[in-house]
Amino acid sequence: MKNKNQYYEQVAKDLLSAVGGSANISSVTHCMTRLRFNLKDESIPNDNDIQSIPGVVGVNRTGGQYQIIIGQTVNKVYDFLLKTGDLTQSSSSEDGLAENLKEKLTFKSIANNILNKLAGCLTPLIPMMVAASVFKMLGAILGPNMLNLIGTKTTLYQLFTFVGDAGFYFLPIVIGYTASKQFNTSRIIAMFLGAIVIDPNLIQIVKAGKPFDIFGVTMPLINYSSTVIPIILAVWVMSYIEQFFKQHTAESISTIMVPTLTIAVMLPIMLCILGPAGNVVGNYICAGILAFGKLGGLPTIIAVGVIGAFWEILVMTGMHLLMLTTMMMIFAQSGHENFVTLGAVAASMSVAGMCLGTALRIKDKDQKALAWSYLIASFVGGVTEPGLYGLAIRYKRPFIGMMVGGFCGGLYAGMTAITAHVMVPVANFLSLTTYVGGQTNNLVNGVISGTIAFVVAAIATYSIGIESKTNKQSNEQIKLVEA
């Protein structure tokens, strides 16, 4: 353990030096596989130098972020990075925040900031949603709709149901916390806002259907449980309001007055303006995608196949987070999704198939062993970046095989019009359980879709062959990535 910690610490030191030190870091976060830096000067880091650091799978510049792909051990490197660089989890200093505020506002910068904030708000939710989805899946498989091993009135079925539902129902509170970190405002007050919008008394008022006002302002009757956008908007606005009261309230009474006044001002803004607006936007997005999936016919079938082919490109650029945001809203509000998820699951299976095809075709023993490890990381661990950057990008031709497999798997999913009933935000074999919850043939066709993507990607990759990489890293460095 000591040797591994020393290794992670050394990686963190090398990365800190390569990006220009703490002084060049405005903020740094991490997702499941990547360190996400917001740098003051993005010209400082050299991509080739960073990719040569043992433990680094790849580098990506997107959405105004400098992203360094580490893999499943990213959290360990992140912890040492914070310690080594004397950084906080949200930002390195107030100077970094001020630097961001001075950034010239353009359409691109605004879009990048929105993407960054969405990623920061939603990526930390993935472990919770994975656990919740597994419990919902167990209830669906063991319940009367499938195996019928437990009845709906048994304590085990009820346990699986309320634990699974809790992961989605209480989203406003959890997102309140993650959003507060992104907008640098009070964690507890932001969570309080999330609790307010799902309070049982407010829900009863909504269900009653009688007019209700907030300080004289009419409140639209909306149920905000399982919503995403309203609380993000509310916390964003709250960050400015809280800061205003902190600056204009005497210190002797700030402990009482700042949180109280912040909530008082936010109540009409959140419940009468931001909440309804965010809910409308979310509903239109969800309804639009669900309607597209229900159209059927050749256009929809091909569209699902295209998503399967190009999904991993979205993953590499970070743009998939926008789609994940939409998928979270759809599953939380509608309980099913029949378009984007189909292609995404097929794409995940195609990465594993590509790894298998490469492992069977490649001759170098060391590289063959790495390809097998990437297959395990993808199919079992649910981490596709090692395969993407270690094989698809490294040798180039496997990328084609992967896209072919994703397209064919998505095509079959679109042809059979299957529906995803559980959001499983992981890219391993468990992603196929997203089709649990409907009719048995829905699950069967879902598994067939994933199998097609896997097998076709493996065959296509093996048939196309492997192309040597121009700029080779040493085998020893690549092995350390999977250490």
Give me the active site residues, please. Answer: 31
Specify whether the CB–CB gap between 167 and 130 falls below 8 A: no
Q: How far apart are CA 362 and CA 359, in angstroms?
A: 6
Give the C-alpha distances (Å, rounded to integers) separating 368 from 350, 362, 371: 18, 6, 5
CA nearest neighbour of 436 among 139, 9, 228, 4 = 139
Specify whether the CB–CB gap between 60 and 54 falls below 8 A: no
State residue 171 phi and psi, 5-degree precision.
-50, -45
Burial label for 166, CB within 10 Å (0-12, 13-18, 19+), is middle
Q: How far apart are CA 444 and CA 432, in angstroms?
A: 10
Q: How far apart are CA 167 and CA 133, in angstroms?
A: 8
Angle between helices 297-317 and 320-334 (to 10 degrees): 120
Tokens standing for residue 81:
């990075």
Specify whether the CB–CB gap between 193 and 248 falls below 8 A: no
Tokens standing for residue 455:
């097998």
Specify whether the CB–CB gap between 329 and 286 falls below 8 A: yes
Q: How far apart are CA 244 and CA 213, in angstroms?
A: 25
DSSP 234: H
Q: How far apart are CA 417 and CA 439, in angstroms?
A: 12
Specify whether the CB–CB gap between 157 and 142 falls below 8 A: yes
Number of C-alpha atoms within 13 angstroms, CB side, residue 224?
A: 34
Q: How far apart are CA 195 and CA 173, in angstroms?
A: 6
Q: How far apart are CA 17 and CA 21, in angstroms?
A: 5
